[in-house]
Amino acid sequence: MPDNNERPNILVVDDERRMAESLQTLLIGLDYDVDVAFDGNQAAEKIKEGGYDLIVSDIKLPHKSGLELLKLAREINPDAVVILMTAYASLESAVGAIGQGAYDYLLKPVEFTHLKIAVSRGLDKHFSNKARIELLNELKEKNEQLSRRLAELNALYKAGHSLSTTIEIKELLTQIMELATRVIGANTGSVMLLDGDRNVLRIHASIGVKNEIVSKTELAVGSSIAGSVAQTGRPVMIENIETDPDFKRQAKEHYESKSLLSVPLQVKGSVIGVINLTDKVGGEKFTEEDLKLLTALASQAAIAIDDAQHFEEASRKLREFVALYEIASELPNLEDFPQMARLVHFHIRNIMPVEMTLWLSYDVKQKLLTFNFWDGWGRENYEKVENAEIPLEGKQIESPEGRASVILEFLNKHLAIDGQIKSFRAVPIYTKGHFYGLFCMGSLKEDAFITDHEYLASIITSQAASLYERQRAMLNATRLMTMGNMMSEISHDLRKPLTNIKGGLQIMKERWPEIADNDSFFEMAQQELSRLSELVRELVDFSNPTRYQTEKKRIDEVLDRVIRLVQHDLKRNNIELHTDFEENLPSVAINYNQIIEVFLNMFMNAIDAMEEGGKLTLKARRSPELEDGKSYVQIQIIDTGKGIPPEDHEKVFERYYTTKKSGTGLGLSVVDRIIKAHNGKIELKSKARKGTTFIISLPVS
């Protein structure tokens, strides 16, 4: 970091003025000097003027893109630290940004925590490089006075340069260990890195340490020598571990000498690990010069490790983008859910240590999970749990531990796998903002997953499930369109013979009226022809894609229109009409002609039910929220007619059921179909000789 009197200078570039100014305000709050530019040309001029320690830029800009600004900045200063942001993530832009030297690649909307970390690490790298250059210049000036020290530091510089060219973290740590033991002259050593989630140190590279010790060693920060160094951030040299008042040797067989060095690996004052050396060559004690030299090497190593971790993180993100891209590319070719689940399993195991995956869907009303798929380890057990149901309450959905424990307890109870699954996570799947189910991933290794794995798995599975549902909906729509075309052709072909038969019957009735009047055949044939004609009309309606195109309308206006159409019938049948419409009713999305047909049917049924006159009441009001979370406009049609017996309530919506002498029995079945097509509901309340109430509920637009 810079001197106390110098504040880091940052340039923020974004053509969204509000976004740029928001980032400026947030970064100023972190004690940075922040300048802003709102297009590529303005930013380019500012970059040419120089003086920025770090640049944060959107990729998509007017005049010059973020990638062009990155190229310009690195032409002026090859070590320029540039963080790129984009709302249009793609594999090409990610590869291009990383390939051209972007320090980090963030997705919009940018999480301020991620931006804060990226900026902090970028500045750390910038000032570390700057400090290193200044240190080298200072060493050159003191060449004559510190010749011996210069040789050591020269060796350190070469070692640091060698480390800086290594980006693979395992190879880098092995190289650090080899350099440290060779330069200092030690037989045994280890590099331990900090696991931030659990606050423990683990050995990641070693020389002269048994494999059994490497695999089992896990030191809490604050305990033991290395744990104390990680906690305090101060290097430790122990001349005699057996007599040291703070640390006494407990595992005597691990050492050949009594002397030990332990130095922190620090980046911007934060400890990321520890280098330990023991058993100096020849059985000698380590010296202060050895400690200083190892401390300097640790400083170089820490930067290299931090860079390698950043590179590994960027590579991981790239693999994640590739997985998302390939899943999205292959989904349209899949025919069923198991194929989609296998595809996700294949790609997800390439980016995280997954050995088994489970898919469970969720029924919101029943609050039950159902097993849908199992892949990987233990798949032979799937037949035992297929379609099994597990209760899951709302609070458990929100709790990662609650979700995982419910599923794991069920598996351990019903299958012979108790204790075999060492790591298990159950992540939520969301489609269109609603909880869809759980995606579970397991491993036979302990601590196999981190929080980022859960977050990523939730994103991948939610996107895969959403894309799959969308593809399935498109396929169903295509099938329905094909079916509609076929129905349209069939209906067209049926109309002509039906018309001919109807005409033939009419001619026969006119030619032999005495037979037509005394034989029920003609009346029955006429009724059946009417039913067939109505069926053909319904087929035509179904096959017409514009039949259910909707528009926003207020239902009271629709009802006023229908009232005008039936006014003559009401007056003729001596029926009194009463209306009670709530003011300012919200609009509903309806097909106008279809809903007119619904209410005409309902009104005419009510008129027919009041043969000796009566009272027809219409009410319209906004109903309270129902179980499914939707708000409805509710219309009540109340007559004082003869009513419907309870045993007939279920039958009235059935096709061809009627109590009228001249009825076809299609009216209410058509009404029911139209209301359901509008995602609405229709209810019946009636008693014989006490009138009838129909309640129609249509969702608010």
Answer whether residue 514 shows pLDDT above 80. Answer: no
Report how far apart, in Å, the C-alpha atoms of 353 and of each of 43, 347, 490 are.
Answer: 42, 11, 56
Tokens describing residue 34: 């922040």
Distance CA 32, CA 115 (A): 14
Residue 209: pLDDT over 90: no
Q: Judge whether 271 and 185 are in contact, CB under 8 Å.
A: no
| Pairwise pLDDT comparison (488 vs 362), residue with the higher score | 362
Is residue 496 classed exposed, middle or buried when 0-12, 13-18 and 19+ CB atoms within 10 A define those classes? exposed
Provide the CA 406 distance to its chain's centre, in angstroms: 22
Nearest to 455 by CA among 424, 423, 427: 427
Q: How confident is the model at residue 542 (pLDDT cuts 50, 70, 90)?
A: low
Question: Quick check: do 156-313 and 334-474 share a fold?
Answer: yes
Residue-wise pLDDT tens digits, 411-468? 888 887 767 888 899 988 887 777 888 999 999 888 888 888 888 888 888 877 777 7
pLDDT digits (tens, 9 = 90+) for 623-681: 866 556 678 899 999 999 888 877 777 777 765 455 554 444 346 777 888 888 888 88
Q: CATH class for domain 551-699? A: alpha beta
Place of tokens 């980016």: 351
Q: Name the more confident of 147 and 622.
A: 622
pLDDT for 577: 92
List the beta strands (DSSP E) in 444-571.
551-554
Mean pLDDT of the chain: 81
Give the model confidence (pLDDT) of 106-153 as tens digits.
888 888 888 899 999 988 888 888 888 788 777 777 765 556 565 556
- Highest averaged pLDDT of the listed ranges 378-382, 578-582, 630-634, 675-679: 578-582
Residues 575 and 586: their CA atoms lie apart, in Å, by 29
Angle between helices 17-28 and 112-141 in degrees, nearest 10 = 60
Q: Does domain 334-474 have CATH number 3.40.1050.10?
A: no
Instruction: Give rounded-to-5 percent helix, strand, coil for the chain.
Output: 50, 20, 30
Average pLDDT over residues 343-351: 86
Q: Is the pLDDT confidence value at 332 over 90?
A: no
Least Cα distance to 198 among 451, 457, 422, 444 occurs for 451
pLDDT at res. 55: 92
DSSP conformation class of 60 = S
> Domain 9-130, what architecture?
3-Layer(aba) Sandwich (3.40)
DSSP track, 550-570: -EEEEHHHHHHHHHHHHHHHH
Sequence spans of domains, the chain:
9-130, 156-313, 334-474, 551-699
Band (479; pLDDT cuts 50, 70, 90): low
pLDDT-based confidence at 57, cuts 50/70/90? Answer: very high
Query: What is the pLDDT at residue 98?
Result: 79
Q: Which pLDDT score is estimated for 276?
A: 92
For the chain, the residue count is: 701
Section 518-540 average pLDDT: 69
Neighbour order of strands in the sheet with 434-443 = 389-391, 368-376, 356-363, 434-443, 423-431
Classify strands 54-58 and 9-13 as parallel, antiparallel or unpaired.
Answer: parallel
Q: Is the pLDDT of residue 255 over 50?
A: no
d(CA 563, CA 620): 14
Burial class (CB in 10 A: 0-12, 13-18, 19+), 339: middle
Q: What is the DSSP letter of 585?
A: P
Most confident of 328-342, 503-517, 539-553, 635-649: 635-649
Q: State if pTM tops 0.75.
A: no
Which of 3.40.50.720, 3.30.300.30, 3.30.450.40, 1.10.150.120 would CATH assign to domain 156-313? 3.30.450.40
So what's the pLDDT on residue 618?
A: 93
Q: Which residues of 502-522 are buried (b: 16+ CB within 10 A; e: fewer)?
A: beebeeebeeeeeebeeeeeb
Residues 37 and 11 sit within 8 Å (Cβ to Cβ) = yes
Taking the alpha carbons at both ends of the chain, their separation in whole angstroms is 56
Give the whole-number percent of the chain exceeding pLDDT 90.
13
* DSSP, residue by residue, 341-399: HHHHHHHHTTTS--SEEEEEEEETTTTEEEEEEEEETTGGGHHHHTT-EEE--HHHHH-
Is there a contact between 35 and 54 (Cβ–Cβ < 8 Å)? no
pLDDT at 274: 93
d(CA 193, CA 201): 6
- What is the rounded (10 degree) CA torsion for 478, 481, 487, 491? -170
* pLDDT score of 352 more than 70: yes
* Residues 2 and 127 sit within 8 Å (Cβ to Cβ): yes
Query: Tell me, what's the pLDDT at 673?
Result: 83
pLDDT digit string (tens) for 1-48?
665 567 899 999 999 999 889 999 999 988 899 999 999 999 999 988
Six token digits for residue 648 = 């007939």
Neighbours of 162 (CB within 10 A): 15
> Is 60 exceeded by the pLDDT of residue 193?
yes
> For residue 311, what are the contacts with CB-CB under 8 A and spacing of at least 6?
167
Higher pLDDT, 99 or 433: 99
- Mean pLDDT within 382-408: 84
Report the C-alpha dihedral over residues 500, 503, 507, 508, rounded to 10 degrees: 70
Instruction: Give 260-309 pLDDT, tens digit per residue.
Output: 899 999 988 889 899 999 888 888 888 888 888 888 888 888 888 888 88
Amino acid (one-letter) located at 325: Y
pLDDT of residue 160: 62
